[in-house]
Each structure stands twice: as structure tokens, then as C-alpha cells.
Amino acid sequence: MNRLMMRAAMAGGMLLSVFSGAALAGGGLDGVWRTEHGWHVKLYKCGGGYCGNVVGGTTMKDIHNPKPALRSRKVVGIRMIWGMRKSGSSYMGKLYNPKDGKVYSGYLKPLSANAVKLSGCILGGLICKSQTWKRIK
């Protein structure tokens, strides 16, 4: 009986992983995600990869932008992710961080149909800061 239960549990686990993978593949990364700071970022397909624009959740201005002429613009509407192309189980591309006005190499890794991990890195990926985003749409 133990073998039968073990096989059933393994089969159930495999089915669960197949269905969670299918859910992510079906919905992909397209959608609106809430950052750990409460911002809303819309991820969408662009140029063979993914891009992301801030669409809500903040009233912050882009005060740290290296270009003085852009420091008075609102963060909502800014494209903060671009060129995210598939690389193994993640996506690699560029990230703009309005909190410091810098562009980073970044990784976007799907964790489930409703969660992704975003990492901004320096020194060729040796030092990274990450946060988990939750799907809201």
C-alpha cells in the first residue's frame, strides 16, 4: 500500500507542476504586477522579449534621473524594463530604477503564474538586489 500511495503522490506532484507551468505559459508574463514598493508595472511583449511600464501605484517624480530635463516627469508612464529576452528559465535585459536614476542589468524569473522575481545587478551579476512581484491583472 505504501508504494501505491507514493506513486499517487508523485503523479500528483508531476500533474501540479505541469498545470502550474501551463498556467504561466498560457498567461505568460503579460499583465500588471505589483512591486514590493506598491507600484504597478505592466509587462508586455516587445521586440522579441518583454518590456515594462509603470502604470500606477506611485505619485513619485523621476527626481533622480541623470537628465535634468526629465526630473520633473512622473514615474507613472516610464518604461522601466526593456529588452528582457529568454535565457534559460529567466529573462535577461535592462532595468531603470527611478529610486536612484540608474540603469541596471536585470533578470526576471517566473516563480509561478502569479509571482515573478526581479533582480537588478551590477558588476556583471556579482551583486544583485531582488524583489518578488505579484500579479494583479
What is the residue range of 85's domain? Answer: 29-135
Query: Residues 108-128: what's their mean pLDDT?
Result: 93
Q: Is residue 131 situated within a structural domain?
A: yes
Is the pLDDT at 24 greater than 70? The verdict is no
How far is it, in rounded angstroms, from Cα 107 to Cα 126?
Answer: 13
Total number of domains constituting the chain = 1
Q: Is residue 22 situated within a structural domain?
A: no
- Indicate the DSSP class of residue 14: H
Q: Is residue 53 situated within a structural domain?
A: yes
Tell me the C-alpha to C-alpha distance, in Å, between residue 21 and each of 24, 35, 42, 58, 135: 5, 22, 21, 31, 15
Q: Is residue 19 situated within a structural domain?
A: no
| Range name among 13-27, 34-48, 96-110 with the lowest pLDDT average | 13-27
